[in-house]
Amino acid sequence: MDFFDVIRTQRAMRRLKPDPVSDEDLWTILDAAIHAPSGGNTQGWNFVVIRDRAVKEKIGAWYLEAWDRAYGPRRDAMLEDAQAGRMFRSADYLANHLADVPALILATLQNRTGFGADVSHGASIYPAVQNLMLAARALGLGTTLTTLHRLHEQDVRELLGIPADVDTMALIPVGHPRGRFGEPQRVPAEKVTYWDRWGERKTRGG
Amino acid sequence: MDFFDVIRTQRAMRRLKPDPVSDEDLWTILDAAIHAPSGGNTQGWNFVVIRDRAVKEKIGAWYLEAWDRAYGPRRDAMLEDAQAGRMFRSADYLANHLADVPALILATLQNRTGFGADVSHGASIYPAVQNLMLAARALGLGTTLTTLHRLHEQDVRELLGIPADVDTMALIPVGHPRGRFGEPQRVPAEKVTYWDRWGERKTRGG
C-alpha cells in the first residue's frame, strides 16, 4: 500500500472478528514496531502477544471493570453527542468483547530513572506502538491503542509474570475488522499549528 | 512510496542541510501528524513550527547546555564503543548545529489530571510525532525525536508564549539529510517478543 494512504485511513477499529490473525501477519507488525526510534536507541521495549483464551478472559474482566470505572459516569453525556456517542458505543463493545479478540499485544517498557523518567518516557514506546498499528492497517487488520489495563497494572503484571522494573504501556487488540477503514475525525492541521510563536496561525498556500 | 519501505528505512537523521523545507512539505507532514490517534480522540496537541533564526539560536543554546549536562559525562565511554560512538557523534553534531536546521517542530500536549496523567499520557502525542517523522522520511526529509529541551522547558515556554497548562513533549528537527536513509540498528523482533507469558519465546515460522 502507498504510505500516505495508510496514514490517512488508519483509525481506531474496536469491533473485531474472532477469526485468527496469522503468525506471519503478527511478525510483520512486530517487525514494524521494532523499527521505531527510542530514546538513545535503548530499545527498552517488549511485546507480549496474548492469544490464550483464559489469559484474555482475565485481562478482559479487568479491562471491563476499568472501563466502567473510568467512563461509566460519562456514559449518558457521551451518548447524547453524535460523534462522542459513536466512539463510546464502539469502545463499550470492545470492553465487553476483549476476550473474543484473536490477539492482544501488550507493549511494555523498562522503567527509567533520572532524565526522561517523566511523561516523555512514552517517547520510547509509543512510536513503536504507532508503527505496529500502521502496519496492521496496511495489512487490513484493525487495532486501537488502549491503556485502561493500567488501572489493574499490578494484576496484569502478576498474571503474565512481568518483572517490577517493566511498565505496561499499551494494550493493543488486533483482529480483522468488522467495519471499514476510513478517514478519522480530526481538527485540521491549520487549526493546531502555530508558526514561530504560540497562537500565530498561517493559511495554507498563503 | 510503499508503506513498508518507509517503515523499514526511517532512522534518526541528525546531520541536516540548512536548505529550507517547503511550506507544502511541512503541511504534508503536519497532516500526517494529526491523523494519529490520541486518548479518547482528545487531540490535545499543537505543533509550533520554528524557522525564525533568533528563536532557533536561543533554543539551540539551551539544547546544547542540556546535551552537555546529560551526556557530557558519558562522552568518553560512548566514543569507545563503535555503535554508540557513531550515535554520539551525530547527536553531538546536532546539538552544535540546531540553529542551522531549517525547521524545528515543537510538539505540545495539554496537561491532564486523573487517569492517564502519568507516563501513559505520551500515548496522546508520540503516535502523532511518529506519523510526522515517517511522513518526513516518505518525502526524503530527515528528522529525529528529541526531548532534551525539556531540561529548559520553562525557558522554552516563556520564549514561545506557551501556556502553563501545555507540556512541550518533543522537539523535532526537520531538514534535507546529508546522509542516506537506511535500516536502523535494532534487536530483532524474535528477541523482544513473548507469547502469552513473559519470557516465552517463539521461533519465526515455527
Residue B146 placed within a domain: yes
Number of domains composing chain B: 1
pLDDT (average), residues A15-42: 97
Instruction: Count interface pairs A-B at CB distance under 8 A.
Output: 246
Closest by CA to B38, choosing from B110, B104, B105, is: B110
Using a CB-CB distance cutoff of 8 angstroms, which residues of chain B are in contact with residue A47?
189, 192-194
Q: b vs e for A49-58, b when ≥16 Cβ sit within 10 Å of the residue's Cβ?
A: bbbeeebbeb
Q: Is A143 on the interface with B (CB under 8 A)?
A: no
Q: pLDDT digit string (tens) for A189-202?
A: 999 999 999 999 99
Name, in order, each residue with C-beta under 8 angstroms of B104's C-beta and a sequence gap of 6 or more: B49, B50, B51, B56, B59, B98, B171, B172, B173, B174
Q: pLDDT digit string (tens) for A94-128?
A: 999 999 999 999 999 999 888 788 889 999 999 99
Cell of A197: 510563536
Q: pLDDT digit string (tens) for B153-186?
A: 999 999 999 999 999 999 999 999 999 999 999 9
Closest by CA to A133, choosing from A97, A167, A174, A94, is: A174
Q: What is the CATH number of the domain that holds B52?
A: 3.40.109.10
Q: pLDDT digit string (tens) for B110-126?
A: 998 887 888 899 999 99
Residue B110 placed within a domain: yes
Q: Is A147 on the interface with B (CB under 8 A)?
A: yes
* Coil/strand/helix, residue A36: coil
Residue B100 placed within a domain: yes
Q: pLDDT digit string (tens) for A133-177?
A: 999 999 999 999 999 999 999 999 999 999 999 999 999 999 999
Average pLDDT, chain B: 96
Residue A200 placed within a domain: no
Residue B202 placed within a domain: no
Residue B205: pLDDT band with limits 50, 70, 90: confident
Residue A62 in this model has a pLDDT that exceeds 90: yes
Residue A181 placed within a domain: yes
Per DSSP, which regions of chain A are E strands? 45-50, 103-110, 142-143, 166-175, 193-195
Q: pLDDT digit string (tens) for A166-191?
A: 999 999 999 999 999 999 999 999 99
Chain A: closest CA distance from residue B199 (Å) = 8
Looking at residue B120, its pLDDT comes to 92
* Coil/strand/helix, residue A17: coil
Looking at residue B84, its pLDDT comes to 87
Looking at residue A179, its pLDDT comes to 93
* B residues 22..51 contacting A (CB < 8 A): 23, 27, 30-37, 39-41, 43, 45-51
Question: Which residue of B12, B130, B205 is in closest CB contact with A131?
Answer: B130
Strand partners, A108: A46, A168
Using a CB-CB distance cutoff of 8 angstroms, which residues of chain B are in contact with residue A37?
10-12, 130, 133, 144-145, 184
What's the length of chain A? 206
Question: In terms of pLDDT, which residue wins out, A119 or A58?
Answer: A58
* Coil/strand/helix, residue B206: coil
**Which among B130, B139, B151, B165 is the top mutation candidate for probing chain A, defined by the most A β-carbons within 10 Å of its own β-carbon?**
B130
* Coil/strand/helix, residue A102: coil
**Which among A7, A51, A78 is the top mutation candidate for probing chain B, defined by the most B β-carbons within 10 Å of its own β-carbon?**
A7
Looking at residue B83, its pLDDT comes to 84
Average pLDDT, chain A: 96
**Which among A130, A139, A160 is the top mutation candidate for probing chain B, defined by the most B β-carbons within 10 Å of its own β-carbon?**
A130
ipTM score here?
0.97
Q: pLDDT digit string (tens) for B89-104?
A: 999 999 999 999 999 9
Question: Which residue of A1, A31, A130 is in closest CB contact with B127?
Answer: A130
How far is A57 from A100, CA to CA, in rounded Å?
A: 8
| Other beta carbons less than 10 A from residue B206's beta carbon | 7
Looking at residue A206, its pLDDT comes to 64
Residue B81 placed within a domain: yes
Residue B201 placed within a domain: no
Global pTM reads 0.97
Looking at residue B206, its pLDDT comes to 64
Q: Is A1 on the interface with B (CB under 8 A)?
A: yes
Range of the structural domain that residue A26 is part of: 3-192
